[in-house]
Structure 1
């Protein structure tokens, strides 16, 4: 290995070349599978019925493919470490842990994101052509992915945060990583909910079971008795500055923090 054990551009280029040579068939099959499903299912419904006349009809396929496909693809990162022989080969390759991590990171985040949207656009054009051939009409563009409304962009913040969770999970679980990460995420969310419920019960008590209609660490919908057998809901919300802090963390801190933890987790990996 070259004297620079953290990052050397030439060495990284050699590792990239080896990585794509070894994984090209897998990446191609994954891309074709996603593309085939996104294309074949809508075309089938177009040919058998008048469905999918609007772009909004395709939006669920877009988001399901983005989240399920992207998170499943990310969960296969560092899959070599689940097998002793492949794991030894992966760790012993003359490239730094950072170069190996940044390669997987770029492929599973930027690479998948770009190729997925290229694939979806190509799929949309084929589906549109099929509709024109069947009905003589183009798909009506009634759905804007980012600007109508602008809040849709938060879907992408959520995707990046989840992608970071599954990349971190891939450094912990090398077999059945997707299922194990989903289970771990569920347990984590359930734990937060229980902690929030206990915290709120200590503050407000359990009158009216209002804790069931609260958003953890954000708001509480308390039912207060205004008259005998009469309850009036009162909404308690955290201060605006704390809301903005939550929003900033969700947009800019959660994903980079988890990516960083995943890198250091890989640094400590042994076979």
Structure 2
């Protein structure tokens, strides 16, 4: 926590003093630092969840602990979600308070605006949805790859996304042959851009969206189903883990 506060203060002060023309520092200025460090620190922390399973002696000690697999997993899950978020917010609040005090003293006036706009609140909500999904992915990866879990998991996610993209491009090229705007003109599950030929050398572009109910279902799945599903998969992987 001390290291996290120190890093937050250092980055915040560098950002503030390199933009010395800014008279008032508001929440929109702080938000990018908040989001980047939330993901960086949180996912690295989640990547160490089952690191002891990568070493034979430590892994045996972990599996022989007098507790059920469910108790061990729930403990890790609470630490990497509720525990981390609590510590992170304490650290970020402390760093913001200290950094604001230093900046105000250096400029001889109060420079922090505590107003929190509604659009930023919506951005915060979206940020947490993405964070819980990413945390679930890294936690599952930690159960599969005890060593270098973050790097291996990100590489696996890249391969999966790449395969989905290739399959989507192939399917759309067959389905809209001769009408696809270009090879990457579609978003999987959301829509595709096509070209409608009206007359000779005359055409118009159209974006065909998937039905609203489908997008709502996918949005609900991404926010509320995917993170718990990833946690359940990580639990069953941990339950079947052997040293």
Distance 2:120 2:11 in 1: 26
Distance 1:206 1:99 in 2: 56
Match of 1:174 in 2: 146
Q: Equivalent of 1:221, from 177, 186, 193? A: 193
Worse overlay, 173-182 or 223-232: 223-232
* Cα pair distance change 1:206/1:127, threshold 3 Å: farther
After the TM superposition, which residues 29-48 of structure 1 pair with which residues of structure 2 at under 5 Å, given as runs?
31-46=1-16
Shift of 1:248: 1.0
Q: Conserved in 2, the CA contact under 8 Å of 1:210 and 1:220?
A: no
| 2:16 is equivalent to residue 78 of structure 1 | no
Match of 2:81 in 1: 109
Instruction: Note the residue ranges of structure 1 that are not aligned, 5 or more in a row.
Output: 1-30
* Cα pair distance change 1:38/1:206, threshold 3 Å: farther
Match of 2:68 in 1: 96
Shift of 1:179: 0.4
Shift of 1:173: 0.3
Match of 1:54 in 2: 25
Shift of 1:58: 1.9
Shift of 1:118: 1.4
* Cα pair distance change 1:46/1:237, threshold 3 Å: closer
Match of 1:198 in 2: 170
After the TM superposition, which residues 95-174 of structure 1 pair with which residues of structure 2 at under 5 Å, given as runs?
95-135=67-107, 136-141=109-114, 143-144=116-117, 147-148=119-120, 150-174=122-146
Q: Conserved in 2, the CA contact under 8 Å of 1:47 and 1:134?
A: no
Shift of 1:225: 2.4
Task: Name the Cα RMSD after superposition.
Answer: 1.9
- Give the total of aligned pairs: 240
Worse overlay, 48-57 or 127-136: 48-57
Q: Deviations over 1:126-165 (max 9, x none)?
A: 1111121011122234554x65462541221111011000
Q: Deviations over 1:84-143 (max 9, x none)?
A: 110010001111111111111000011111111111111111111112101112223455
Shift of 1:172: 0.3
Worse overlay, 55-64 or 247-256: 55-64
Distance 1:235 1:46 in 2: 42
| 2:236 is equivalent to residue 255 of structure 1 | no
Instruction: Note the residue ranges of structure 2 that are not aligned, 5 or more in a row.
Output: none
Q: Conserved in 2, the CA contact under 8 Å of 1:169 and 1:181?
A: yes
Q: Conserved in 2, the CA contact under 8 Å of 1:210 and 1:223?
A: no
- TM-score by length of structure 2 reads 0.91
